[in-house]
Amino acid sequence: MRIYAPLGAFSVADRAPAIQERILALARKGASEGIGTRPIPSERASSVVAGPLLIMTVTELDAEAAGVPREELAAEYAAKIQQTIETYRARHTWATLVRAVFRTVVAWAVFALLAWTQWKAGRILRASLEQRFRRRAMESGIGGVNRLLLERGRPLLMATIRAMGALTVLFGFSFVLSYTFGLYPQTANISTTLWDYIASVFHAVARALWGYLPSGGFVLVAICAAHYALRVLRFLADAIGRGDLSIRGMHPEMAEPTYQLARLLVLLVALVVVFPYLPGGNSDAFKGISLFVGVLLSLGSSSAVGNVLAGLVLTYMRPYHSGDRVKIADTVGDVVEKSLLVTRVRTIKNVEVVIPNSAILSSQIHNYSALARSQGLILNTTVTIGYDSPWRTVHDLLTNAALATDGISHDPAPFVLETSLNDYNVTYELNAYTGRANEIQNIYSRLHEAIQDGFDRAGVEIMSPAYHALRDGNATTIPTAGRAAGQP
C-alpha cells in the first residue's frame, strides 16, 4: 500500500511505519476480527478498522492522489490488510515451519547432487579433452603455429571449463540460498533483497549486451572485412613469391615483407575504425591508459623503432640476400637470417654475429655474391718477380696456375696486370673469376698453392719478400725439388 498525504501533524514518513506496526500487531495477536471500513463524515475521511481498533485513516488527499473515490480506496486497503494478516498467520504455524524445513532439506540435497554431477561431468570432459589434445600433439606433421596453439590453447580451454563450472555452481548456490530464505517469514525480506540483487545484476548485463548490439554488429562487420582483406593480400603475396604473378618493381623476395607491412596497416586501420565502438572505448580511463602506453612505447622503443625502419629500408634496397657472402663493417661472412630488427652473419670461422639493422644502414656493405652469380667475382693476388724473369713467362705461369685451381672460371679467362716496377722486382697482379663467392678463402688457398707449384717447376723465383743478396755463390731460394739440373 502507498501512503500519499499527511494527516494533521503526522507526515507521510511518520504514518507509514505506524500503520505497518498496527498491522503486524494484529497479525501476531491472532484475533478473529475482520477488517472493515468506517466513514468519518466530520473529517471527510474513512477509517480502516479491526473491530474497535483503528488501523489507518484514508483522507480525501489520499483519494485524490490515488485517483479513486475515498470509500473505494479505503475498501481496497482493507482487503489488502486482511489478506496480508491471513498470509502472515498461515506462514507462522508449526505445520508451515515443518514444510519449510522439509523443502530446505530437499532443495539443498538437489543442489548438492547437481553440483556433484557437474563436478564429475567436468572431470570426464576435461580428461577427454586432455586425451584428444595429447593424441593430436603426437600426430606427425604438427608443428609451428599449430603446436603452439595446442600447447597454449589446452590450459586456456581447461581454465574456461573450470570457470564456467564455478560460475554455474555459484549461481545455483545463490538461487538455493535465496529460495531457503524465502521459506521462512523471519528471513523472507533477506530472500527478496538477495534475489532482487541477483536479478538486477543479470538484468544489467543483459541490458548492456542488448544496448551494445548495434555497435557490436559494426565491430563484427569491420573484423570480417579486415579478415577477408588479409586473405586477399596473403593470396597476392604467395603468388608474387612463387613467381606466378609479376608486378613491375616488385621482386619475389619483397612479397613477404610487403605483405607484413600491408597486414600491419590493415590491422591498424581496423583498430582505429572499431576503437570508438568498443566497450569503454570512449571512457576517460581507457583513453588515459592508451596515452600512457603510447608514451611508454615512444620512450622505450626508440632504438627498436630505428632498427625496424632500417630493416624496412634494407628490405627494399635489397643489398643482400640470405646466403650471400658479405662484408659489413669489419665482419665477413654469410648472411643466415634477415629480420626487421637484426641481420645474422656467420663468419668463415663459424661465429654467428648479430648486427643491428641501423648499424648496417650507416656502414658500407660489400656483397661478394651479388655479381658472382651472373658475371663472376674477380679474385686477385700479387707476386713480385725479379727482372731477370721474362714477363711473358710470368704471365703464362700465373694464368696456368689460375686455370688449374678448382673454383676458378675458365670463361671469362684469368688475366694478369703489372701494377708496379719496383727497385728489385716487378709486381704482378693475377685476376681470376669465380662464381662460388662463399668459398673465397678456400679458392685463394688453392690458388696460392698452384702458383707456388707452377713457379717451382719452371725455376722462377718469387721475390716476396725481396731478397738482398749477392748472386755470386749464394744459393737460390727455389726449393730443391724444383731446381734445374746443376743449379746450386
Q: Does domain 377-482 have CATH number 2.60.40.10?
A: no
Residue with cell 597454449: 152
CA atoms within 13 A on the CB side of 274: 21
CA 460 to chain CA mean position, Å = 70
What are the grid coordinates assigned to 158, written together? 581447461
pLDDT at 346: 92
Torsion of CA 405, 408, 409, 412, to 10 degrees: -110
Residues pairing with 334 in the sheet: 325, 346
For 383, phi then psi, to 5°, come to: -135, 155
pLDDT at 239: 83
Neighbours of 404 (CB within 10 A): 15
Helices 440-458 & 391-403, crossing angle to 10 degrees? Answer: 140
pLDDT at 448: 94
What is the C-alpha to C-alpha distance for residues 417 and 432, in angstroms, rounded to an integer? 11
Is there a common fold for 307-367 and 377-482? no
Q: Where are the domains of the chain?
A: 12-91, 94-183, 307-367, 377-482
Q: How far is CA 80 from CA 1, 35, 250, 447, in A?
A: 8, 9, 86, 116
The 3-state DSSP class for residue 16 equals helix
What are the grid coordinates assigned to 208, written together? 548492456
Q: Quick check: 325 and 377 in contact, CB under 8 A?
A: no
What is the C-alpha to C-alpha distance for residues 211 and 220, in angstroms, rounded to an integer? 15
pLDDT at 451: 93
Cis check: omega of the bond before 465, within 30 degrees of 0: yes
pLDDT at 394: 93
Per-residue confidence in pLDDT tens, the chain, 488 aa: 888 888 878 888 888 888 888 888 887 776 666 788 888 877 788 888 887 788 888 888 888 888 888 888 888 888 888 888 877 777 777 777 788 888 889 989 999 999 999 889 888 888 888 888 777 766 655 555 566 566 667 777 888 888 888 888 888 887 888 778 777 766 766 666 666 666 777 777 777 767 766 767 777 888 888 888 888 888 888 887 777 777 776 777 777 777 877 888 888 888 878 777 776 656 666 667 667 666 666 655 567 777 777 877 887 777 888 888 999 888 899 999 888 788 899 998 899 999 888 888 888 889 888 888 788 899 999 999 988 889 999 999 999 999 999 999 998 999 999 999 988 889 999 999 998 888 899 999 999 999 999 999 998 888 765 555 555 555 565 565 555 555 55
Neighbours of 195 (CB within 10 A): 17
What is the C-alpha to C-alpha distance for residues 160 and 124, in angstroms, rounded to an integer? 15
pLDDT at 122: 86
What is the C-alpha to C-alpha distance for residues 474 and 488, in angstroms, rounded to an integer? 8
pLDDT at 447: 94
Strand (E) or helix (H) holding 405: none
What predicted TM-score, i.e. pTM, was given to this entire model? Answer: 0.47
Torsion of CA 158, 164, 170, 171, to 10 degrees: -170
Give one word for 346, left, alpha or beta, with left for phi > 0 and alpha for psi -120 to 50: beta
Domain spanning 307-367 has what CATH number? 2.30.30.60
Q: How far is CA 365 from CA 136, 330, 343, 377, in A?
A: 47, 10, 12, 16
